Amino acid sequence: MLTTKEQSNQELFLSLLVFSLVITVLVTAVAWYFNFVGWTTVTQNIFLALTAIITLLTLVILIGALGVFWPALPRKVSFLAAPTKLVITYLLPLTVFLGKFFGFNKLEVQNSFVEVNNQFVESGYLAVRSDQVLLLLPHCIQDHECEYRITNDLNNCRRCGKCQVTEMLEFRDSYGINVAVATGGTLARRLVKELRPEVILAVACERDLTSGIQDVYPLPVIGLINIRPEGPCVNTLVDLNRLNMALKNTLELTKVE
């Protein structure tokens, strides 16, 4: 069940997506218009081919938009999954541009994008085994003064309780999932390649989540935007209740036997 705040966050991205779709359709209509206003034969044939390609892409985008506005559809109609994911992933730059044009902060649009992506993923990629789930954490979730660094090995943590790494290890031990820390996009992609998860739960800021979701497409990612009481990249937190709910909704079994 979505909270009022989550619904409001999603509405921003969906509204900007509507404008993006309108622009896409208008570009397609203009392209067809120019096919009938007196080009030379060769030029008209070239432009006709380009227009046909644009039209095909527009149709795919419009079909994919159905899955964005009705997230349950891709699970019921399998061919909708791919075009829906294309819309979510590749129309983001245009929605960010439109958001700036209408006076929205880039982080607001990215936050909205993550919420829409989560709804799409959680409606269609559920019930996997615990060993197929990767919980990917940022290094800044660890207390910045801790001498036992966890970047290379989570087991270096002494579970003192000064940061939420203790809870992350408890999730790992309780659910049997994979948990790893990434210091950047390159390391995150390497971890994904090595562990080959079916679903990723990623904790990060809006920017890193947005780029990460795009980087690992079509692998499903549930994004959890971190809490930054001391500013970015220092002693960040995650909503433990939201994380626990995402794990339970994703896993085939809620406890390791």
Which tens digit of pLDDT belongs to each residue from 87-120?
Answer: 777 777 788 888 888 888 888 889 988 988 888 7
Whether 257 maps to a domain, the answer reads no
Residue 157 lies in a domain: yes
Do residues 199 and 131 touch, judged by C-beta distance below 8 A?
no
- Name the domain boundary from 55, 90, 120: 120
Same domain, 209 and 103: no
| One domain for residues 213 and 229 | yes
Section 15-29 average pLDDT: 83
Whether residue 193 sits in one domain with residue 131:
yes
Q: Does residue 67 share a domain with residue 30?
A: yes
Binned at pLDDT 50, 70 and 90, residue 257 comes out as: very low
Q: Is residue 106 part of a domain?
A: yes
Same domain, 149 and 241: yes
Q: Is the pLDDT confidence value at 6 over 60? A: no
CATH number, residue 174? 3.40.50
The number of C-alpha atoms within 13 Å of 214 and in the hemisphere containing its C-beta is 14
Compute the mean pLDDT over every residue in the chain, rounded to the nearest whole number: 82
Instruction: Note whether 88 and 107 are same-domain residues.
Output: yes
Q: Are 99 and 153 within one domain?
A: no
Mutual angle of helices 240-250 and 165-175, in 10-degree steps: 20
Q: What is the mean pLDDT of residues 182-205?
A: 89
Domain finish residue from 54, 86, 120: 120
Radius of gyration of the chain, Cα coordinates, nearest whole angstrom: 21
Q: Model confidence at 226, in pLDDT bands (50, 70, 90)? A: very high
Residue 226 domain flag? yes
pLDDT at residue 80 is higher than 50: yes
pLDDT-based confidence at residue 7 (cuts at 50, 70, 90): low
Domain boundary among 120, 138, 166: 120
What pTM value is reported for the model?
Answer: 0.74
- The answer to whether residue 206 sits within a structural domain is yes
Specify whether 130 is located in the same domain as 243: yes
Q: Which domain holds residue 144?
A: 125-250
Q: Is 255 a domain residue?
A: no
Q: What's the domain count of the chain? A: 2
Looking at the structure, tell me whether residues 163 and 107 fall in a common domain.
Answer: no
**157 has a pLDDT exceeding 80:** yes
